[in-house]
Amino acid sequence: MDLNDIITKLPYRDPFLFVDELLHVDDNIIIGSYRFNENLDFFRGHFYGNPVTPGVILTETMAQIGLACFGVYLLGSEASAETAMALTSTEIQFLKTVYPKEKVTVISNKIYFRFGKLKCAVTMKNEAGQEVCKGMLAGMIIDRI
Supply the range of the domain harboring residue 129.
Answer: 3-143
Beta strand residue intervals within 2-102, DSSP E: 21-25, 29-35, 83-94
Smallest CA-to-CA distance from 34 within 136, 138, 132, 118 is with 132
3 state SS of 8: helix
* pLDDT value of position 85: 87
Cα gap 109→27, rounded to integer Å: 9
Residue of 46, 96, 117, 134 with catalytic role? 46
- pLDDT, averaged across the chain: 94
User: Could you tell me the CA-to-CA distances from 24 to 3, 57, 70, 113 in Å, in that order?
Assistant: 8, 22, 10, 18
Q: Mind listing the pLDDT tens digit for each residue in 122-142?
A: 999 999 999 999 999 999 988
The CATH number of the domain holding residue 100 is 3.10.129.10
* pLDDT value of position 143: 82
Is 24 annotated in the active site?
no
3 state SS of 61: helix
* pLDDT value of position 96: 98
Domains of the chain: total: 1
* pLDDT value of position 76: 85
- Per-residue pLDDT tens, the chain, 145 aa: give them: 688 899 999 989 999 999 999 999 999 999 999 999 999 999 999 888 899 999 999 999 999 999 999 999 998 877 776 778 899 999 999 999 999 999 999 999 999 999 999 999 999 999 999 999 999 999 998 887 6
- DSSP sequence for 79-96: --TTEEEEEEEEEEEE-S
pTM of the complete model: 0.95
